[in-house]
Amino acid sequence: MKTGSLSKRVTLATLGLLAIVLTGVIAAVTFAYRSNRAQDLAEQLRAAGGEFNDTLPGDVTKFFVADLARHGIAVDFADTSATVPNAKPGSSNPAGVKSYPPPVKKDGAITTQGSLVVLDQQLPDGTYVVLSASNDAIAADVQQLLAIEIAVAVVALGLAALLIRRVTSAALKPLADVSRTATRIAGGDTAERLRPARSDTELGSMAAAFDHMVDALEEAVRQAKDAEETMRRFLADASHELRTPIAALQATAERLLRDQPRRPRRDALEAMLAGDAARLGRLVDDLLSLARLDAALPAPSTRVDLAHLAEAVAAELARRGRVSAIALELDSPVWVAGDPEALSRVIRNLLDNAVTAAGSAGQVRLRVTETADEAQLSVEDDGPGVPGEDRERIFDRFVRLVPGTSSGSGLGLAIARRIARQHRGDLTCDEIDRGGRFTLRLPLAEPVESVEPPRTLDL
């Protein structure tokens, strides 16, 4: 990339172009002036020759010749006679008029001989007259004109250089603003921006692109800091959460090895060991799932009937005996685009939380509906509900509303919301009069032309 002075390059290029234009103008004006003067001088010679044609024989006097001389035209005569020019009966040689041999040039032709412009002409009485005028005056006037033009051109170039330098400095001021703004941003003032008044010009679009680049860099830095802070907090929370089941596993294993208890006490300790291992496995699985979601890897996508998927998950929980009854209200089909396994996990996490909150005698309601542009799946229970100040905090990692509880890892809702947002939707905790309700919203895969009436099932 060339880093020379842009102002100097623009100034020199403009002055060079202006000098070429001025040179052409000077040459054209000088040539036109010389041609006009030469044409005027030729016209004067022709006019003088015409006056000789109109003069009667014997009337050419020294006064007439002197009058032409005052106008810068010299007169010479030539005749075939060796004695007298104008050799005619009764004519006399005008005083001061020299005699020359007859011209060899064509009669009436104007020629240039050195610094003289010459007209050869034969008069009606047979006499040859040679009219000449010097073009030294024309050359001197042309030289004077050329000197004036060059002086004016030099002055014009000097003024143009000053004007171009000032205009260039004003035109390049936005570039200086970019440099100053970039220096201040590099110094830590990240709020600085160019903020161009117009973005449809060359410099305006450059300034807008600069601001966009700085915004993108600032956002990238912010995301990197957030990711670093999230990872630090995640590692701290994970180590804390893993410490409890690992300690329980270690304590149970040590008791088995140390005490070597007999049955049924040994069976109870082995069951505790298996339960702690299973809980630790679920926690590790949740941590890995959350890490994959944080990596923002693209999820597989296919057409999924959300109502059919919810019905299948509810039937699975009912077969496992997790709840006595789940009331289903389903609009089927409700088509969304997404990963069936991931969406099943969201529904399963929501139902597990609702079943835990409602208790064995509680009631859980699962509803799937669609609006004009989105599908909605809500899970409602008649448990204690979620306080208003915790409706957002409950989606954070390792958050349990009941301190000290051993059920769940505190990652289920965090994973469910991440999956929802990965599918361009969202998961919220709604405010209701009694109990708790979570609503999953997803964009529809395609418009549904026929809708079956809602149906209610008790499992």
Distance in Å from the first CA to the final CA of the chain: 73
Do 366 and 326 touch, CB atoms closer than 8 A? yes
Q: What is the pLDDT of residue 183?
A: 82
The CATH number given to 202-293 is: 1.10.287.130
Report residue 55's pLDDT band, with 50, 70 and 90 as the boundaries: low
Q: What is the pLDDT of residue 212?
A: 86
Residue 221 to residues 182, 190, 194, Cα–Cα distance (Å): 16, 11, 20
Backbone φ and ψ for 257, nearest 5 degrees, come out as -70, -35
Please name which of 414, 408, 405, 386 lies closest in space to residue 233, comparing C-alpha atoms.
Answer: 414
Mean pLDDT check: name the lowest of 30-34, 51-55, 316-320, 369-373. Answer: 51-55
| 394: DSSP letter | G
Q: Which residue has the tokens 């110094």?
A: 187
Give the C-alpha separation, 370 to 334, whole Å: 7
| 383: DSSP letter | S
Give the C-alpha separation, 284 to 276, whole Å: 12
Query: pTM (2 decimals)?
Result: 0.48
Non-local CB neighbours of 361 within 8 Å, separated by 6+ positions: 324
% of residues, the chain, pLDDT over 70: 81
Do 194 and 177 touch, CB atoms closer than 8 A? yes
pLDDT digits (tens, 9 = 90+) for 360-380: 777 889 999 998 889 999 999
| 208: DSSP letter | H
Reading the block at residue 395, the tokens are 């989606």
In this model, does residue 94 exceed pLDDT 50? no
Q: What is the pLDDT of residue 179?
A: 79
Residue 452 to residues 241, 330, 334, 366, Cα–Cα distance (Å): 46, 9, 10, 17
pLDDT digits (tens, 9 = 90+) for 151-171: 999 999 999 989 988 888 887
Query: Torsion-angle region of residue 154: left (phi > 0), alpha (psi -120 to 50) or beta?
Result: alpha
Domain limits, the chain: 6-156, 202-293, 299-458
Give the C-alpha separation, 111 to 120, whole Å: 9
Query: Strands 455-458 and 326-330: what pairing?
Result: antiparallel
The CATH number given to 299-458 is: 3.30.565.10
pLDDT digits (tens, 9 = 90+) for 192-234: 887 787 777 777 788 888 888 888 888 888 888 877 887 787 7
What value does the CA radius of gyration of the chain take, rounded to a whole number of Å? 54
